[in-house]
Amino acid sequence: MKLTIIETGLPPESIRADWPRYPAMFQALIAPHLPELETESVAIVSGADFPDLDAVDAILVTGSAAGVYEPHPWMPPLLNFIQRAAARRIPQIGVCFGHQAIAKALGATVEKSDKGWGIGRHVYDVRARPEWMGDFHGKTFSLGVSHQDQVLSLPPGASVVACSEFTPFAVLDYGLVPAISFQGHPEFSAGFCRALYNVRRGSVFGEDTVDAASESLETPVDNALVGSWMANFLRQHHKAG
């Protein structure tokens, strides 16, 4: 199957040459669990046209520094694209900004949270076990995060799969749409997270905040596990299609 990755953001310019772009990170995350996966990337952040849905098997919306409420020229078309894909029951995955964009497009409220920035390793409590989780029976999992926007309400027909006190709508399953989305970043290595936080050291984040977030990532996160969930979801809905 082919996964169309909608590229909505780029790594910060000061570290861009040192790291892969986000679509390559997702391909590396999912492909080990889905060897037959093909990917294509569509850089709407750089002005690319949205793909024809007739040629799309599945969609993944990446992270971005943008907010869903900001007046970027590609924002309304993106939300419309998600809605049209949902109406056609094309499977979709969203991560961070992509999580917020899918939730917003399908009826949720998304805003800058009064809790401020979340960075470092966050642990989520599992509240439901959809089929795409496979044989996972753990009560928690963890991911590196970098966000200040949050989903603040549940879209119609969706359910909360995982949450935390800081992020009540951390992982969503949209039921019959079909779509799943994650606030955390399974595609980000600990090294990339640290580089990202350091870009904002002394400006957005204080020294102690960056140091604590970076230190928290010395405890392993569950990127590979979430990559397997994404692969299960894609495989499940490719067969259903």
Domain spans in the chain, listed from the N-terminal domain onward: 2-240
Q: One-letter amino acid identity for 201?
A: R
Contact at 8 Å (CB) between 82 and 50?
no
Confidence (pLDDT) at 1: 87
> In 3-state terms, what secondary structure has residue 111?
strand
Q: Dmax over Cα atoms in the chain, in whole Å?
A: 50
Q: What is the pLDDT along the chain (241 residues), one digit of tens a residue?
A: 899 999 999 999 999 999 999 999 999 999 999 999 999 999 999 999 999 999 999 999 999 999 999 999 999 999 999 999 999 999 999 999 999 999 999 999 999 999 999 999 999 999 999 999 999 999 999 999 999 999 999 999 999 999 999 999 999 999 999 999 999 999 999 999 999 999 999 999 999 999 999 999 999 999 999 999 999 999 999 866 5
| Torsions phi, psi for 25 (to 5 deg) | -65, -40
Alpha helices in the chain (DSSP H): 22-30, 75-87, 97-105, 190-199, 207-216, 223-240
Q: How many angstroms separate the CA atoms of 129 and 122, rounded?
A: 19
Confidence (pLDDT) at 239: 63
In terms of DSSP bridges, do strands 171-173 and 179-182 run parallel, antiparallel, or are they unpaired?
A: antiparallel
What is the CATH T-level fold of the domain 2-240, as seen in this structure?
Answer: Rossmann fold (3.40.50)
* The model scores a pTM over 0.85: yes
